[in-house]
Amino acid sequence: MGDQERAGVLVLAATPIGRPADASPRLGEELADADIVAAEDTRRMRRLASSLGIDIGGRVVSYFEGNEEMRTPELVAALDDGARVVLVTDAGMPSVSDPGYRLVEAAVEAGTRVTSVPGPSAVVTALAVSGLPVARFSFEGFPPRRAGERARWLDALAGEERTMVFFESRHRLASTLTLMSEAFGEKRRAAVCRELTKKHEEVRRDGLAELARWAQEFQPLGEITIVVSGISDAGGAGGPLTVSMTEAVAIVEDRVAAGTSRKDAIAEVARELRFSRRELYAAVVNARTDTT
């Protein structure tokens, strides 16, 4: 048997983000033909296979965040021996904000062929139904868990021109939308997409401040994807910046002179002019230092 015939293959197989019926026929074929199925949750994967009427003939192993480092060399060795390894996560495409990148990186480094079974994606689905610009977008994944770090992280994205897509836990949704409202502006257009493709699917479209109030009051459940318009979206963010940082600092100083606290003045101006609060604060401090 030649090297080409013995070569293993790593298959990244997308699974439904909601309804099992969204699974592609090829997903079933790959699960049935795999030598090894590596699954983020083996029980969930077996339930999906059962609902699709698929018999998995190969070995099933777990592959999740807690054992990626330990399991990767084992799977790479199997690939080197000629195995066809199918990697699936709980929903969507492996390695995209899910386990898999470490294995893909190792497989590529080992010279193994890596392919995929395309399928559902919460990122693209949320973009499509959001009603926001989709020509250019960035996927930002899950924001940091700690509120302070999350606020600084969002501040750094305040000038992003592309539409942004985030994942978030239902437990932090209201807090994150509030921080987004502070960092990007209360009226910045956004969409909260909940339980996409499932029975209780809901897409809520509004300004960030209104969405934060809604999330606080109703505490929505389920899998959540947030889509936020970029700063260049004239329909919701007010168009590109037309005020320089020096002019913004002057506006802050005028408000402080009128009686507003410096902290509040910086927050207000950053929100209104769509500057990063952190960058505006640094500019204000530098300006005061230069004049002393």
Residue 236 lies in a domain: no
> Is the distance from CB of 196 to CB of 18 less than 8 angstroms?
yes
Tens of pLDDT, residue by residue over 269-288, are 887 776 778 888 889 998 87
What is this structure's pTM?
Answer: 0.76
Neighbour-count burial for 214-250, b at 16+ CB within 10 Å, e otherwise? bbeeeebeebbbbbbbbbbbeebbbeeeeeebeebbe
Cα 9 to its chain centre, rounded Å, is 27
| Token output for 80 | 């080197």
158-170: average pLDDT = 93
H helix count then E strand count, the chain: 12, 10
Statement to judge: residues 47 and 87 lie in one domain: yes
Domain coverage including residue 188: 123-228
Please indicate, yes or no, whether residues 148 and 166 belong to a single structural domain of this protein. yes
DSSP β-ladder status, 163-168 and 189-194: unpaired
Specify whether 282 is located in the same domain as 216.
Answer: no
Q: Is the predicted pLDDT of residue 146 greater than 70, yes or no? A: yes
Count CA atoms closer than 13 A to 248's CA, side-chain side.
25
Question: How much is the pLDDT for 203?
Answer: 96
Residue 101 within any structural domain of the chain: yes
- Whether 240 maps to a domain, the answer reads no
Question: What pLDDT sits at residue 234?
Answer: 41
CA distance 193 to 29: 31
Same-domain check for residues 116 and 197: no
Helix (H) or strand (E) holding 95: none
Q: Are 112 and 129 contained in the same domain? A: no
Residues 86 and 147 in one domain: no
16 and 109 share one domain: yes
Does 254 fall in a domain? yes
In angstroms, how far is CA 87 from the centroid of its own chain? 20
Tell me what pLDDT residue 263 has. Answer: 87
Distance CA 72, CA 36 (A): 13
**Confidence (pLDDT) at 236:** 42
Instruction: Look at residue 1 and tell me whether its pLDDT is greater than 50.
Output: no
Q: What is the DSSP string of 25-52?
A: HHHHHHHHH-SEEEESSHHHHHHHHHHT
Is 127 inside any structural domain? yes
Q: Is 15 exposed, middle or buried (0-12, 13-18, 19+ CB in 10 A)?
A: buried
Calculate the alpha carbon distances from 109 to 102, 103, 113 in Å.
Answer: 11, 10, 10
* pLDDT average, residue stretch 165-173: 96
| pLDDT band, very low/low/confident/very high, at 2 (cuts 50, 70, 90) | very low
Question: What is the number of domains present in the chain?
Answer: 3
Condensed to tens digits (0 to 9), the pLDDT of residues 11-23 reads: 999 999 988 999 9
What are 73's two structure tokens? 């060399």
CATH (domain of 64): 3.40.1010.10
pLDDT single digits (tens) 97-108:
788 999 999 999
The answer to whether residues 52 and 147 belong to one domain is no
> What pLDDT sits at residue 292?
57
pLDDT digits (tens, 9 = 90+) for 183-220: 988 889 999 999 999 989 999 999 999 999 999 999 99
Terminal C-alpha separation, the chain = 80
User: Among 198, 228, 258, which residue terminates a domain?
Assistant: 228
Per-residue model confidence (pLDDT) at position 232: 67
Residue 123 tokens read as 């990122």
Question: In whole angstroms, what is the distance from residue 204 CA to residue 196 CA?
Answer: 12
Any domain includes 238: no
Interval 225-249: pLDDT, tens: 999 999 866 444 444 445 788 888 9
Same domain flag for 9 and 106: yes
Last residue of a domain, one of 120, 149, 165: 120
- 98, 120, 142 - which closes a domain: 120
What are the φ and ψ backbone dihedral angles of 174, each rounded to 5 degrees?
-60, -45
Please check whether residue 234 lies inside any domain of the structure. no
Residues 110 and 131 both lie in one domain? no
Q: Are residues 66 and 103 in the same domain?
A: yes
Q: pLDDT of 67-125, one tens digit each?
A: 999 999 999 999 999 999 999 999 999 988 788 999 999 999 999 999 999 998 999 99
In a domain, 239, yes or no: no
7 and 62 share a domain? yes
- pLDDT interval class at 260 (50, 70, 90): confident
